[in-house]
Amino acid sequence: MNIQQLRYVVAIANSGTFREAAEKLYVSQPSLSISIRDLEKELGFQIFSRTSAGTVLTKRGMEFYEQAQNLVKGFDKFENYYLQVEEKEKSFSISSQHYDFLPPLMTEFSKTHPQYPHFRIFESTTVQILDEVAQGYSELGIIYLNTRNTKGIMQKLEKLQLVVFDLIDFQTHVYLREGHPLAQKEVVQLEDLKGLPTVRFTQEKEAYLYYSENFIDTSDSPVVFDVTDRATLNGILERTDAYATGSGFLDSESVNGIVVVPLEHGVDNRMVYVKRENHDLSQCAKDFLVLMEDYFAKQKHTS
């Protein structure tokens, strides 16, 4: 038994057929079949049951698959820590909640630091962002903290051995289409939002409320749109009287037809980044932090 065979088992179980698994793994289907057959012979039981509808796990195969999946994830994490050091020095991966300031920052960084040719920007749920950094797939994770979520988030960070650093304090802003009845207000109050639809970013199904990217309680909204990307969120805002909440750091070149209005009393937010506690950042990550901190310093000066 070897790690490659375990990868094969996981891929077949996830794909449902040997053919699809072989395509994803870039191996021939006969080679994949022979490897699984040898593994089953070594184990003394059948992992998969082949049917006309596809490939399914046997009862013992399901138990084996669950263990194999954990081992593969653990091995990938181990490998990511210690291998391809030279390649990592030339690349940079960052995980973030959905912020409009990140794309222009990353493109500016690419222009000013041509020695780094490879970037990975992973926008996802709060849980996945923290796991990405903890497992070493991203060097930095960008999230926000406020009085509603700090206790829960800090407990998670301690468990994952992550540390947090402040970037900027900011006020909650409401995102609206240009022709929205509230768009001309200098400040929006919570009462103004009652009865309006809400657009918010999807989180894990079982996630606690403190993982939410929404800055206010939206339980009274008559309609809620849960989305996974900024383009869809903006598209819904442009076509409805729905609102979203965010940091207010809007990229005017990539967002059209959307305005941001400060929310009254929404001033207790902190933009932060997280990193692994006992891990030295690459030079690329350090250089990016300098650029990002300079960006937020300018935001403080203009606000």
Question: What's the rounded Cα separation, in Å, for the pair 149 and 167?
Answer: 17
What local confidence, expressed as pLDDT, does residue 266 receive? Answer: 74
Query: Which candidate, 268, 279, 274, places its Cα nearest to that of 166?
Result: 274
For domain 85-169+270-302, give the fold. D-Maltodextrin-Binding Protein; domain 2 (3.40.190)
Instruction: Please give the sequence-ordered ranges of beta strands (E in DSSP) within 146-268, or none if there are none.
Output: 162-170, 173-177, 198-201, 224-227, 244-246, 258-262
What is the arithmetic mean of pLDDT over 288-303?
Answer: 84
Residue span(s) of the chain under CATH 3.40.190.10 come to: 85-169+270-302, 170-268
For residue 59, pLDDT over 80 is answered with: yes
Q: Against a cut of 0.85, is the pTM above it?
A: no
48 Cβ contact partners less than 8 Å away, ≥ 6 residues apart = 12, 13, 36, 40, 55, 56, 57, 58, 61
Residues 94-147: pLDDT tens digits?
A: 999 998 888 889 999 999 998 888 888 889 889 889 988 988 889 999 999 988
Residue 48's DSSP bridge partners are 57
Lowest mean pLDDT among 2-6, 88-92, 190-194, 218-222: 88-92
Q: Round the average pLDDT of the chain to a whole number and report it.
A: 86
pLDDT band at 219 (very low <50, low <70, confident <90, very high): confident
For residue 90, pLDDT over 60 is answered with: no
Q: What is the DSSP letter of 271?
A: E
> Residue 278 has which token pair?
């006992």
Identify the architecture of domain 3-79 in CATH.
Orthogonal Bundle (1.10)
Residue span(s) of the chain under CATH 1.10.10.10 come to: 3-79
Q: Where are the alpha helices (DSSP H) in the chain?
A: 3-15, 18-25, 29-43, 59-82, 85-89, 102-112, 126-134, 150-160, 190-193, 230-239, 283-302
What is the arithmetic mean of pLDDT over 264-281?
Answer: 89
Query: 170-268, superfamily in CATH?
Result: Periplasmic binding protein-like II (3.40.190.10)
